[in-house]
Amino acid sequence: MQKIDTDLLIIGAGSGGLSVAAGAAQMGADVTLLEGHKMGGDCLNYGCVPSKALLASGKVAHKAGHARPFGVADSAPKVDYAAAKDHVHDVIGTIAPHDSVERFERLGVRVIQEYGEFIDAKTVKAGTYEITARRIVIATGSSPLVPPIPGLDSVPYETNETLFELREKPDHLLIVGGGPIGMEMAQAHLRLGCKVTVIEGAKAFGRDDPECAKVVLDVLKAEGLELAEEAMAESISGEAGNITVTCKDGRSFTGSHLLMAVGRKPNIDKLNLKAAGIQTTKAGIKVDDGLRTTNRRAYAIGDVAGGLQFTHVAGYHAGLVIRSALLSLPVTTKTDHIPWATYTAPELAQVGLTEARAREIHGDTLEVARFTYAENDRAIADRQTDGLIKVMVVKGRPVGVSIAGHQAGEVIGLWSMVIANGLKMKHVAAMVAPYPTIAEINKRVAGAYFSPKLFDNPMLKHVVRLVQRWLP
């Protein structure tokens, strides 16, 4: 057994673990990184990157068949599903060197390609290595949750970990789960020529603002999506090419392929956390506001910490942990400035409180400013007028923003900065956006917030008239 003594041990080389490793090594720490599977984790290999690449293929196919409004003849796209998957893997391969073993070794990180298992509070076994660390960061991420639905174990099905290896285009893809993963893959496959049915036990996009979600769902339905909501899967039967999902209310749906997209579970089974005195919850590893576990030497970040499950959250956690573990600076996690987006077309994005939640918390003090994409000149020029932005405001300060529309995932970033820094609507109103851009909706919604206060103000009008009388 080879023994290693290190300043910082990171278990898991997904986006969070890699960010900690790169930052800590460049700051002078002795860093050891464990990864028993693929460098880059879920995001690079099975999640964010391949899903957006497949959506891009679908977008190109869709544009070919909807070019007439731009003065270009429509053409029926000839989709090569296997070639689209080649595109996906080319994108992964292009990004992979940034997350590679070789790059991190060049940064000075000791990379061990083994899974880690705790022996005690400060020691982890990984293959033939026994590693003792002053601080440990658990960044093992999450995996697809596959619920114990009767019959599921007897039929072939996909998850996000297998879907991107599928080379045969599904004739009819059944998707159980109407969250971001399910809905993104629904539109991608619709646009690549598949029939798609989404089966959702509650409401599709259930965490998002219902008004904004409806904008996206209406577009998806117009593109041919069959959506079954309040449809809890009770049993699954059939065989390859002929799979049936039967719901508790008696509805049933039959398709050629099945994708399970009902949620995620934390990757903790291999860690032997009990030996390290690390407690868990149903959502993942128990952490305090500074991301420390019940073992004060150890932190947990990203999906495995049981909070918001987004790549950018893992990156945010990484920055906090570097400050705490390396510099002993106090840190506190916040979530009110964390945005998320679903990359359908139109996109759906959120930061802070939805309107419903804001009304629960703030009551009559809440004001809601709105502006539609149909009033944005760039959206009109690009024929991307479906959508709106809603800003929830309390005493001049935004507490939440919901956006449905073209480039919503890009537009929401400004509002994360605004909320993170405690800025007010007046600061957004003071910005100047280049014309014509989709980003103008940010300034215009701030204008919509102030317009009634200015233009419907009798006292202001009286003051203006007085000033005009005295002007030479």
Consecutive H or E run containing 454: helix 440-455
Residue pair 298/136 in contact (Cβ under 8 Å)? The answer is yes
Query: Residue 123 corresponds to which tokens in the numbers above?
Result: 């020691």
Separation of alpha carbons 462 and 38, rounded Å: 69
| Those residues with Cβ within 8 angstroms of residue 327's Cβ, 6 or more apart along the chain or in another chain | none
Helices (H), 108-259: 180-191, 210-222
Helix (H, G, I), strand (E, B) or coil at 160: coil
DSSP structural state of residue 170: P
* Residue 384 backbone phi and psi in degrees, to 5: -125, 55
Start-to-end C-alpha separation, the chain: 92
Provide the token pair at 379.
Answer: 């959206």
**Buried residues in 164-181 as b, exposed as e (16+ CB within 10 A):** beeeebbebbbbbbbbbb
243: exposed, middle or buried (Cβ count in 10 Å: 0-12, 13-18, 19+):
buried
Query: Is 140 labelled a binding residue?
Result: yes
How does DSSP classify residue 48?
A: H
H helices then E strands: how many in the chain? 14, 21
* Residue 417, marked binder: no
Q: Are 13 and 98 in contact (CB under 8 A)?
A: no
Among 350, 335, 344, smallest CA distance to 415 is for 350
Is 177 annotated in some ligand binding site?
yes
What is the identity of the amino acid at 239? Answer: E
The answer to whether 92 is annotated as binding is: no
Annotated binding residue 151? no
Confirm or deny that 183 is annotated as ligand binding: yes
Q: CA nearest 183: which of 227, 236, 140?
A: 227
400 labelled ligand-binding: no
Torsional sign, CA 397, 403, 406, 407: positive
116 has binding-site annotation: yes
355 appears as a binding residue in the annotation: no
DSSP letter (8 states) at residue 285: B
Q: Is 367 annotated as a binding residue?
A: no
Is 431 known to sit in a ligand binding site? no
Q: Is 179 annotated as a binding residue?
A: yes
Question: In this structure, which amino acid lies at residue 123?
Answer: T
Instruction: Tell me whether residue 234 is annotated as binding.
Output: no
On whether 459 is known to bind a ligand per the annotation, the reply is no
* Residues contributing to the annotated binding site for FAD: 52, 116, 140-142, 303
Which residues are part of a known binding site?
52, 116, 140-142, 177-184, 200, 263, 303
Please state the residue numbers annotated as binding site for NAD(+): 177-184, 200, 263
